[in-house]
């Protein structure tokens, strides 16, 4: 029986690992035990013979056969292949989509229900808020955080209450999601405190990632991962777009204690640093430009707001205008499967 109760929940990962990957095998077993669906999007480098019982694996050819408009034009060899797995999960009737990566391992709390309304502290109108600093006394900041504000303390003013949070970011212990600067200059591993959750709302910015993230149905349109940017920026820039659109609809983004721990796959720190440079230089400007946009309220306007937000990145020469047809296809596909 699913720990999500009557809601259908699907776990989504993108991976080029083979069938011996321990995390993928564990997730296949545990999703079955907890009544979750499990979809993995492959890419060109995925093994042709990939098979794990209980895992709905989508090769590139299988992705193209889904009938989704996006599947025909989405670039390969990019983390954004995950978009097709999101769509497949939506089409299956999922009301909750949880995403992670193939080097994260779940703790028991990972499988608990994810209610839409949660009691927490709410931070609004405080600019850049380092959510990690509210879960540890260590000096640490999330990947994508504006470096000019890493020593700022904007956490003194908050409201206690119950807030609507259709996007929920869980932390990761051991190797949390930090940028290359942190990994080259600071010490890991790190275990976060089991502090209570915090929510961020209008006028507050904090990047969230795709490593332990829950999306409720009302926020599904916001899951789109852009393709014409680096692997290290795609989920971070998505998070800025999602936050900005949430402001128009009374939605908050929740950060909660770690429910996974990471055994990080091999990375070259200098390569990561190079891929993160556009963020180091531009994340502050991106937030300013997004904040200045005149967006439209209402869930029916999320698609048009999505296009308006990504136009900011194109205008800043951070993405190609080739991104627009992908977003339009994504909007068409989501509307075709969301009832």
Summarised one tens digit per residue, pLDDT across range 57-86 is: 999 999 999 999 999 999 999 999 999 999
| pLDDT tens track for 91-112 | 999 999 999 999 999 999 999 9
Structural domain includes residue 3: no
The CATH number covering residue 135 comes to: 3.90.550
pLDDT at 133 over 90: yes
Structural domain includes residue 175: yes
Q: In the prediction, which pLDDT does 6 show?
A: 56
Task: Please name which of 206, 235, 203 lies closest in space to residue 125, comparing C-alpha atoms.
Answer: 203
Which pairing describes strands 104-106 and 56-58: parallel, antiparallel, or unpaired? unpaired
| pLDDT tens track for 113-132 | 999 999 999 999 999 999 99
Q: How far is Cα 30 from Cα 33, in angstroms, rounded to an integer?
A: 5
Structural domain includes residue 2: no
Phi, psi of 106 (to 5 degrees): -80, 145
| Least trusted range by pLDDT, from 54-68, 256-270, 290-304 | 256-270
Structural domain includes residue 72: yes
Total domains in the chain come to: 1
| pLDDT tens track for 211-245 | 999 999 999 999 999 999 999 999 999 999 999 99
Bridge partners, residue 198, by sequence: 121, 255
Task: Please report which helix (H) or strand (E) contains residue 282, including its range.
Answer: helix 269-292
- Which whole number is the average pLDDT over 14-32? 97
Bridge partners, residue 118, by sequence: 163
Structural domain includes residue 251: yes
Task: Please name which of 82, 10, 83, 19 lies closest in space to residue 46, comparing C-alpha atoms.
Answer: 19
Query: Quick count: other Cβ atoms within 10 Å of Cβ 315?
Result: 11
Q: Tokens standing for 53? A: 């019982």
DSSP assigned state of 244: H
Structural domain includes residue 4: no
Task: Please report which helix (H) or strand (E) contains residue 234, including its range.
Answer: helix 231-247
pLDDT at 2 over 60: no
Q: In the prediction, which pLDDT does 165 show?
A: 98
Contacting residues for 316 by C-beta, under 8 A, at least 6 apart:
282, 285, 286, 289
Query: Quick count: other Cβ atoms within 10 Å of Cβ 2?
Result: 17
Q: In the prediction, which pLDDT does 156 show?
A: 87
| pLDDT tens track for 311-327 | 999 999 999 999 999 99
Name the residue range of residue 112's domain.
Answer: 9-337
Structural domain includes residue 15: yes
Q: In the prediction, which pLDDT does 7 show?
A: 74
Are 338 and 220 in contact, with CB atoms under 8 Å apart? Answer: yes
Does the reported pTM lie above 0.75?
A: yes
Percent over 70 (pLDDT), the chain: 98
Are 14 and 38 in contact, with CB atoms under 8 Å apart? Answer: no
| pLDDT tens track for 147-174 | 999 988 888 899 999 999 999 999 999 9
Are 165 and 198 in contact, with CB atoms under 8 Å apart? Answer: no
């Amino acid at each position: 029986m699913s720990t999500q109760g009557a809601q259908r929940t699907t776990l989504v990962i993108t991976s080029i690992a083979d069938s011996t990957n321990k995390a993928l095998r564990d997730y296949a077993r545990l999703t079955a035990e907890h009544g979750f669906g499990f979809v993995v999007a492959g890419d060109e480098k995925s093994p042709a013979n990939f098979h794990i019982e209980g895992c709905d694996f989508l090769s590139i050819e299988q992705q193209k056969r889904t009938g989704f408009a996006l599947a025909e034009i989405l670039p390969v060899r990019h983390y954004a292949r995950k978009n097709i797995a999101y769509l497949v999960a939506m089409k299956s009737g999922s009301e909750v989509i949880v995403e992670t990566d193939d080097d994260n391992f779940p703790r028991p709390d990972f499988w608990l229900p994810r209610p839409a309304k949660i009691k927490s502290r709410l931070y609004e109108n405080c600019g850049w808020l380092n959510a990690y600093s509210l879960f540890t006394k260590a000096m640490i900041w999330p990947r994508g955080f504006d470096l000019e504000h890493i020593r700022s303390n904007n956490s003194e003013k908050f409201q206690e209450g119950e807030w609507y949070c259709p996007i929920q970011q869980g932390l990761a212990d051991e190797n949390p999601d930090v940028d290359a600067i942190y990994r080259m200059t600071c010490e890991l591993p790190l275990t976060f405190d089991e502090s209570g959750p915090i929510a961020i709302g209008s006028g507050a910015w904090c990047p969230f990632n795709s490593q332990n993230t829950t999306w409720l149905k009302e926020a599904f349109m916001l899951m789109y991962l852009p393709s014409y940017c680096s692997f290290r920026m795609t989920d971070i820039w998505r998070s800025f777009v999602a936050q900005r659109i949430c402001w128009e609809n009374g939605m908050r983004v929740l950060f909660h204690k770690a429910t996974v721990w990471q055994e990080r796959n091999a990375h070259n720190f200098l390569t990561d640093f190079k891929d993160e440079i556009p963020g180091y230089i531009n994340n502050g400007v991106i937030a300013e430009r997004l904040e200045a946009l005149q967006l439209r309220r209402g869930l029916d306007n999320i698609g048009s707001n999505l296009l308006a937000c990504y136009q900011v990145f194109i205008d800043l020469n951070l993405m190609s205008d080739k991104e627009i047809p992908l977003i339009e296809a994504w909007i068409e596909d989501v509307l075709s499967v969301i009832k």
